[in-house]
Structure 1
Amino acid sequence: MDSSLTGRIAEVQRRIDAACERSGRKPEDVNVIAVTKYVSLATAVQAFDEGLRHLGENRFQDALPKWEAISGETAEGGDGQAIWHFIGSLQTNKVKDVIGKFTYIHSLDRLSLAQAIEKRAAQLGVQVPCMIQVNVSGEDSKHGLEPEQLPELLEAIKSFQYVQPVGLMTMAPYEAEAEQTRPVFRALRELRDKMNATVALNAPLTELSMGMSNDFEVAIEEGATWVRLGTILVGKEG
C-alpha cells in the first residue's frame, strides 16, 4: 500500500466510496475534513497542495500559523482556498479570534457561546454555519449538550441573524471494533431528523459531523456528511 500522503488520500477515498456503495449514498455527499492538529505547518501545507481544501483544528493558538500560511486574509473558501473548520471545544473568550478565520464551527454547545459568536459575527458581517455538538454517548469525558437540551437551544437561537445552525456533531467512544459505534451515529441522525420534524426551525438541519479515523466508514453508513480525519489521512507527528 502507498503510504505517501497521496496514497493515503486515495485509500481514504476508496473506503468512502465503498461505504457509500454499501449504504446507497453518493460519495459527493460526504465531505472530508483533514484534521491537521497533530502535524507540522509543512505537512498542513502539503495536505492543501494535495487538494485537501477542508482543514480542521481544535486550538486557535496552534492553528494560527497554519491559517496564516494557507489562508491569508480570507476564510470565505472556494476552489483555490482553504476552508477552515473549528472542531474543538471553543472558549467564549476565543470567539473574537476564531470567527472570521474559521468558516465552520463544529462545537456549538451552549447559549452563551452562541451569543458570543453572534456578537462577533455581527461586527464582521459574516454568516457562521454551526454544528451543535451533542453528547449522544453520555460519556462524562465528552463535550456537548444532552440530547434533551437540544430543542431549547435551537429555539433560543432562532432569532439570531448570523449564527446558522446547519446540523449536529458528535464524538463516539473509541472502540476496538468500529461497528460498536453504530448506535451513537444512528442516534445522532435520528435526533437530527426528530428536530426537523418537531422544532419550527428557520431552515432544516442537513449536516451530520461524525466519524473519525477509527470509525468513519460506519459514520458514513449512518449518514455522516462531514468526517473528521487526522491520523489515517494526514498522519501524526511528534
Structure 2
Amino acid sequence: MNRENVEIVRARIEAACKRAGRDVNSVRLIAVSKKVPAETIREAMALGIKDFGENQVQEARAKIASGAFAGARVILVGHLQTNKASLAARLFDEVQSVDSLRVAAALSKFSVLYRNGKPLPVMIEVNIGKDPAKFGCPPEEALSLARAILELPGLFLSGLMTVAPGQGDPAVSRKAFRDLRLLRDEMISRGIPRENLQELSMGMSSDFEVAIEEGATVVRIGTALFGPRPK
C-alpha cells in the first residue's frame, strides 16, 4: 500500500471540501478494495482507513473469512442479486446498492433472521443518468422505493448512491451529482424523513472532487488509492 496515495487522496478531499465551504469530516472515504489482496487491506488499515467497499459478495466473503477486514467496516457497493441477499445481510455492515423492491425485501427478510435486531443500513442506488450500462433504479422510481423500504423491518434507509454516466468526465459527472442532490431534496419535500436521506454516496477516483463540491457525504475510491487492478 502506497502511503503517498492515501495522503494525496486525503489532501484532495480536504481541498474539495474547502472549495465547497464544507468540513472535511462531513465526507466519509470508502476504499474500494475489489481485487485487492488481504495484505494490502491490512496496510491500508494501518494508514487509518476503516471503511472498505466490495463489489462482489463472494470475493468479500472470502476476505472476511480470512480476517482481512478485522476491525473495519465492509460495505457492499456493487450490484446485488436477490439470491445473494442472505449472505449480504450477514456479511456487510452496509449495502449501498439497493435498486429494487425485490432486493430490498430479500435483505429485509434475512436481516430480521440473522442480524439479532440490528438494522442493516442501506442506500438506494439511482441510475441518475439513465445510462443503460449502469445499474440502479430510475430516478422517477426512487421516491416510491424509499417509501417501501421505510415500511420494511430490519433495514435503515440512510441515503442515495449513484455512479455517474460516461467515463468519469468531471463535467458530465457534476450534472449527475447535482441531479442526485436535487432528487434527494425533492424526496424530502415529498415526505421522506431527512434522517433517511442524510447520505449521498457519489464520486469515484476520476470525479470525487466534483462530487464533494456537489454535496457528496461518501466517496468510493479504488484506483487512486490502490493503483490499477487486474481486469
Q: TM-score range by the shorter chain?
A: over 0.9
- Runs of 4+ more than 4 Å apart: none
- Give the 5 Å matches for 1:95-114: 95-114=85-104
Matches of 1:213 and 1:71, distance apart in 2? 22
RMSD: 1.6
Q: Aligned equivalents of 1:116 and 1:204: distance in 2?
A: 20
1:20–1:203 CA distance, 2 compared to 1 (3 A) = closer
1:51-90 to 2 correspondence within 5 Å? Answer: 51-68=48-65, 69-71=67-69, 81-90=71-80
Note the 1:2-151 alignment, pairs <5 A: 5-68=2-65, 69-71=67-69, 81-124=71-114, 125=116, 126-151=118-143
Deviations 1:67-86 (A, max 9, x none): 222345xxxxxxxx200110
Give the letter for the 1:127 counterpart.
Answer: P
Asked whether the equivalents of residues 131 and 166 of structure 1 are also in contact (C-alpha less than 8 Å), the reply is yes
Query: Which consecutive residues of structure 2, in runs of 5 or more, have no partner in the other structure?
Result: none
- The corresponding residue for 1:183 is 175
Q: Secondary structure at the match of 1:213?
A: coil
Q: Scaled by the length of structure 1, what TM-score is found?
A: 0.90
* Pairwise CA distance, 1:10: 0.6
**What is the distance in 2 between the residues matched to 1:149 and 1:219?**
22
Q: State the TM-score, normalizing by the size of structure 2.
A: 0.93
Q: Which has the higher helix share?
A: 2
8 Å contact 2:38–2:68 — kept in the other structure? no
Letter in 2 for 1:90: L
Q: Give the letter for the 2:8 counterpart.
A: E
Letter in 2 for 1:135: N
1:176 and 1:169 map into 2 onto residues whose CA distance is 16
Q: Which consecutive residues of structure 1, in runs of 5 or more, have no partner in the other structure?
A: 73-80
Cα gap change, 1:100/1:130 in structure 2, threshold over 3 Å: closer, same or farther? Answer: same
Distance of 1:22 and 1:203 partners within structure 2: 26
Q: Distance in 1 between matches of 2:180 and 2:24?
A: 20
